[in-house]
Amino acid sequence: MTRILVIEDNADLAFAVTTALQSEGFDVAVAGTGPDGVDRARQRDADLIILDLMLPGFDGYRVIRELRGEGIGTPILVLTARAEEADKVRGLRLGADDYVTKPFGAMELLARVEALLRRARHPVAASPSTRFGDIVVNRSARSVARAGVPVSLTPKEYELLVALMDRAGSVVTRGDLLRAVWGYQQDVSTRTVDIHVSELRAKLEPVPAKPVHIITVRKVGYRFEA
C-alpha cells in the first residue's frame, strides 16, 4: 500500500487531508512538528510527503533542507497559506516538487498527489549528453554544467529542462509540461511551470531577463531553442 507522510500541525486540516487520502486507499501517517516530521521521513518508508510550511519546532523550509541535504529524495508536496510567490519559489528551490495553496479542494490535492507518485514510479529515461550554448546536460548522470561548472537543479527543474529539450523548436503548452513532468492527467490551474521556468532561466540563461534558450510563447507556453 502506498504510504504518505503528512507533516501538519493543524489537527483539523491534518484530519481532512488524512480522510481524503485514506478514501483513495492510501496509508497515512501524521507528524505535527518539524523535528517529528524529519525523524519520520528519515525512516524512508513514505512514498510521498505532504508538508505544511508553518510548523512548530522548525518550519517546513528547514524540513526540506534537512531531508534533501541527507539525500532523501521522497517527493514533497508543500501546503502553504502564503500568497507571496517568493515563498513558493523558495520551497521549490530547496527541493520541493510541487505546492498547493490553501484553501484547496480534495480533488486538486489528490490529483497532485497521484501525479507526483506517478512521476516517482516512472522517472525520466537516461540518454547521451546534450550541449547548447555553454550548457552541457549529461542525462545518464542527471547532471548539468555551465561553462564546466556544475549547476544544481532540483529534480523537477531537471525534468522540465529535459522535457523542453526533447521538444526543441516546438511550442509546448503549460498543460503539456504539467502532464509530461508532473504527470497530471487533467487540467489544473497552477503557476508551477512558470516558477520552474523562471528558476531554470536564472541558472542557465546568459541574461535571464532576455532568454535565448527557453522562450515564452505568449498565452500558449514555451519553446526551447538550442
CA angle (179, 184, 189) in 5-degree steps: 100
CA angle (119, 123, 129) in 5-degree steps: 140
pLDDT of residue 102: 85
pLDDT of residue 213: 95
Q: Residue 120 and residue 182: Cα distance in Å, rounded?
A: 9
Residues with Cβ within 8 Å of residue 123, at least 6 apart in sequence: none
Asked if residue 114 lies in contact with residue 77, where contact means CB atoms within 8 angstroms, the answer is no
* Of 148, 121, 152, residue with least CA distance to 136: 148
As given in the structure block, the three cell numbers for residue 209 are 531577463
pLDDT of residue 196: 94
The pLDDT profile of the chain, 226 residues, written as one tens digit per residue, is 899 999 999 999 999 999 999 999 999 999 999 999 999 999 988 999 999 999 999 999 999 999 988 888 899 999 987 666 777 788 888 888 888 888 888 998 999 899 889 888 765 554 468 889 899 998 877 889 998 899 999 989 999 999 999 888 888 898 889 888 888 766 666 788 999 999 999 999 999 999 999 999 988 899 999 8
* Of 189, 190, 211, residue with least CA distance to 199: 211
pTM of the prediction? 0.64
Q: Which domains does the chain have, with CATH numbers?
A: 3-121 (3.40.50.2300), 130-224 (1.10.10.10)
* Residue 139 DSSP one-character state: T
* Of 97, 101, 98, 95, residue with least CA distance to 83: 101
Residue recorded with cell 516517482: 120
**Strands of the sheet with 130-132, listed across from one edge:** 130-132, 135-138, 143-146, 149-151
